[in-house]
Structure 1
Amino acid sequence: MSKYTNFPEPGDDHNPFQDPAVTQHSSNTEYATLDLYNPFDNKNGPPPPAYAATAPSAPQPVVPATTPPSRTTPTEPRNYGTSFTPQTAVNATTAELLRKQEELEKKARELERRERELDSHALGPGATRQNNWPPLPSFCPVGPCFYQDINMEISQSFQRTVSIMYYYWMFTACTLVFNLMSCLSLFCVDTSGGVGLGLAILWVLLFTPCSFVCWYRPVYKAFRSDSSFNFFAFFFIFFVQVIFYVIMTIGIPGWGFSGWIVSLAALKTSVPVGVIMMLNSILFTAQAAMGVVLLKRVHSLYRQTGASFVKAQAEFATGVMSNQAVRQAAASATASAAQGAFTGAAR
């Protein structure tokens, strides 16, 4: 049996550690064992390959654990602290942009005012711009009577109000023309209304130019030059005009206004004519209501401009004394009075 195996017989005195395979392995220093390798002997050199493969990895640095934020209850207010959040930065930037925008708008208004002053000085004391209103064709024998440029002469903060007043004047003129057509239609079915037709023609010819000159031009010049006198002239004349608009809305028979009384009476004569006159009554009602609203709006702006009755008196006195015709009339009256007094004293 011993010839087939390498194991010794039980009776042989055999040392298992003297086996050639074990002895060969023990003499090879390439493989580290606990008996042959001490990691504390060579501190600077690397460990053998076998030991390096099984060497434990370097310990990871200990990171101190942060205390988790305490959760707040739904009713407990959160303490956000005074940290500078992105929303705070956005709010600060928006406020800064709004402030700069206000400064730029003030500078733009100031530059616009100075530009108007320079233009007025460049024209000279006695020179005026070429009139452009009403816009008449070149072949018309009558030329424009006024110069009007809202974008140029009126401050930007008042341009909208002046434009609305101009469109309101155009609306009143168109309403008067429609009133003339209503009275003409009533005259066609009832020839006894000739007086109303004649007065309707008179109102168109009278109110259209007079309203432009008497209350629109004053409010235009008031916002153009911050004139207290023109403000007061506008308030007085426009208030009287609004009273006339209320009378137009009522429609007193024989006054030439297609108001509610005349319109309802015309329905008995002719339904189509009555309907036309009722449409005119609606326009008169809207005209009166808009007049009251615009009067209050201009008055609110007047209080913001710093105008007063004392300034209006001073402007009136200055304007009267600066008028060449008034000065000549006053000088002639003074000379005549002085001559009469001297002649009386000589006698």
Structure 2
Amino acid sequence: MSKYNENPFASSHSLDANPFDDPPQPEVSRLEDIQRREADLERRETELNKKAEHIRTHGRNNWPFFFPLIYHSIQDEIPEASRPLITRLYQLWLVLLATLIINMVACFLVFFTDTSGGGSDLGASIGYVFLISITSFLLWYRPIYNGYMKEQALYYYLYFFFGGFHLLFSAYMIIGVPSTGSAGLIQTIRMFINHHWAAAILGTIATVGWIIQGIYQHHNAAGHSMEKAKAELATHGAKAYFTRG
């Protein structure tokens, strides 16, 4: 008689459990997941606190790190498609800074190994470290950075104009004329001939650095930046110098 009272459509499986629930996890796994999330939240909170403290102290300025004067963030300010180019240009500027320092040290060694013109080389090379590093950042790196950030053609043309001067300066430094503050080819060959190995090696490194500057500056001047600036000028005419493209 009990068989006739049973629901023939009833499932033999219990419906107490939700079939869409995640399978039960071991308690150890749940604890590790909670701890991982807590550590991630603490890390993010620490980063936010550091950024907030930095903004309270310096505003949004974050560059240079030892005395922030401007805000510089390729990741935050440059469109994603242009970030590799601007990153390479920033790296090129860092190579320039390193080359200027190596050139100065090489001229310092020349000063102690060669009495003719060594003082002029040392003085000029020290001046280059401060003058060229600052002006190159302000006159060709920052304009191309602003050009891609703000999409204003004026910045592109500033970059091309002063980038041309940088190209000429790099060629000048490659030659290495004595008493000009350059440890380029002529100075390096002199150091090798006179067996002043330390000065010769540093001069070689400096010369390679200037060659890198010249090659990359020339390559980039004929690359995507010029094409973009030409397109803006063709589309917007003279107002592209002063308005957004």
Both structures adopt the same fold (TM-score exceeding 0.5):
yes
Task: Map Cα deviations across residues 67-94 of structure 1 (whole Å, 9 max, x no partner).
Answer: xxxxxxxxxxxxxxxxxxxxxxxxxxxx
User: Which structure 2 residue ranges, 5 or more long, are not aligned?
Assistant: 1-58
> Which position in structure 2 is the counterpart of 1:286?
212
Partners of 1:291 and 1:176 in 2: how far apart? 16
Secondary structure in 2 aligned to 1:255?
coil
Matches for 1:158-169 after TM superposition, within 5 Å: 158-169=82-93
User: 1:1-347 residue pairs with structure 2 within 5 A?
Assistant: 130-136=60-66, 143-192=67-116, 193-272=118-197, 273-302=199-228, 306-308=231-233, 311=236, 313-314=238-239
Which structure is higher in helix share?
A: 2
Structure 1 unmatched ranges of 5 or more: 1-128, 137-142, 320-347
The corresponding residue for 2:41 is: none
| Greater relative CO (CA pairs within 8 A, separation 6+) | 2
Aligned residue pairs, count: 184
* Structure 1 residue 278 displacement after superposition: 2.2
Does structure 1 conserve the Cα–Cα contact (< 8 Å) formed by 2:177 and 2:186? yes
Q: Does the 8 Å CA contact 1:228/1:311 hold for their aligned counterparts?
A: no
Deviation at 1:315, TM superposition (A): 5.8
Partner Cα separation in structure 1 for residue 114 and residue 234 of structure 2 = 51
- Whole-Å Cα distance in 2 between the matches of residues 298 and 145 of structure 1? 29
Question: Retained in 2: the 8 A contact 1:200–1:257?
Answer: yes
* 1:85-106 Cα distance to aligned partner (Å, 9 max, x none): xxxxxxxxxxxxxxxxxxxxxx
CA distance in 2, matches of 1:309, 1:278: 44
Identity %: 24
Task: Call closer, same or farther: CA 1:191–1:290 in 2, change over 3 Å.
Answer: same
TM-score normalised per structure 1:
0.49
Q: Do the aligned partners of 2:178 and 2:186 also contact (CA within 8 Å) in 1?
A: yes
Query: Which SS does the other structure have where 1:145 is aligned?
Result: coil
> Deviation of residue 147 (structure 1)?
1.0
Deviation at 1:131, TM superposition (A): 1.3
Say what the alpha-carbon RMSD is for the aligned residues. 2.3
Partner of residue 50, structure 2: none
> 4+ residue stretches of structure 1 with deviation over 6 A?
none
